[in-house]
Each structure stands twice: as structure tokens, then as C-alpha cells.
Amino acid sequence: MLDEQIVRMLKEDARLSAAAMAARLNRREEEVAERVKALEDAQIIQGYTAVINEDALSDGKVRALIEVRVTPRRDGGFDEVARRIARFPEVIRLYLVSGNYDLLLEVEGDSLQEVASFVSAKLATIDGVLSTATSFQLKKYKESGRIMGEEEDYERLKICP
């Protein structure tokens, strides 16, 4: 139960100190620090990251979601192809999914052409990749449970008889 509470708090704010978590949980700081270390050692916590509003950055990066249909390997299923795809630096996230496609990738490049080149020259040439479908990210509304950008005031339209 304590581990789940710690993980939940770190998901909301990865910058929380052991002291701050301990105060919220009514526990000793040392106990919380030990549990965080144990969660890291067990690779339950594999890293810490910031939620970035890329729209506010001027890095000009292009992001795309790519659905990939794969022929699973006899002994390794989808894992062998997925591990090979995961090694490309353009790939930010990679999931095995159900539905019409097998893998879902999020990739990043400096231009539309760079992402297209990644798909045609690197991804599509992998043995076992049957087809791909690419969608370019236009705007991000929510990331890691957080609504991105400024929230607009919303007022319901008044209904008049």
C-alpha cells in the first residue's frame, strides 16, 4: 500500500522529496526514502521525467504516431521486431497494442521529410514489418494526465425558450 501511494505521488510530481512524501503519508522520511530506493532497484521506477508542452518550445520538432503491422516470430512473437525498432533514436515510445495494428510508435524528427525517411528507409525495411500508417501530431491536448497549455474558460450556451 505504501509503495502504491509513493508511486502515485511521484506520477503526479516526480520532484517530490522523500521528506514531502513522508509528511503527506505520516511516515518517517528514512522509511519513504528506503521504499523509493527499493522501487528503483526493482525497476518499478525506471526514471523520472518532466511533462513538457512542446507547443511552447521553438525546437521545431515534428512528432508522429505510427501504427505498424508485424509478422510475429515463431519463438519471440512480437518482441524481436519491437526490440529492433526500439533501438532507433527517432522512436520515443513503443507499445504492443490490440486492434488492426500490432505496434504503436511515437517518433520525433526535425521535419516531415525526416519522419517520412525514417518510415521508408528504416522502419519499412525491417524483416517482419508488413505495413505502416503514419499520423502526424498537430496539437497535444493532454499528456500524462495533465491538460496542456492554458485552460480556456468554458461557458455553456444559455438555452432560451
Residue ranges and CATH numbers for the domains of the chain are 2-41 (1.10.10), 56-139 (3.30.70.920)
Residue type, 156: R
pLDDT reported for residue 157? 56
Residue type, 145: G
pLDDT reported for residue 54? 73
pLDDT tens track of the chain, all 161 residues?
Answer: 889 999 999 988 889 999 999 999 999 999 999 999 999 999 999 998 887 777 677 678 899 999 999 998 888 789 999 999 999 999 999 999 999 999 999 999 999 999 999 999 999 999 999 999 999 998 888 887 888 876 555 555 556 66
| HSE, side-chain direction, 13 A CA sphere, residue 133 | 7
Joined together, the cell numbers standing for residue 45 give 521506477
Grid-cell match 508485424, residue found: 70
Q: Determine the Cα–Cα distance for residues 155 and 84; give it in Å rounded to an integer.
A: 49
Q: Which residues contact 161 (CB under 8 A, 6 or more apart)?
A: none
Q: Is the pTM of this model over 0.85?
A: no
112: DSSP letter = H
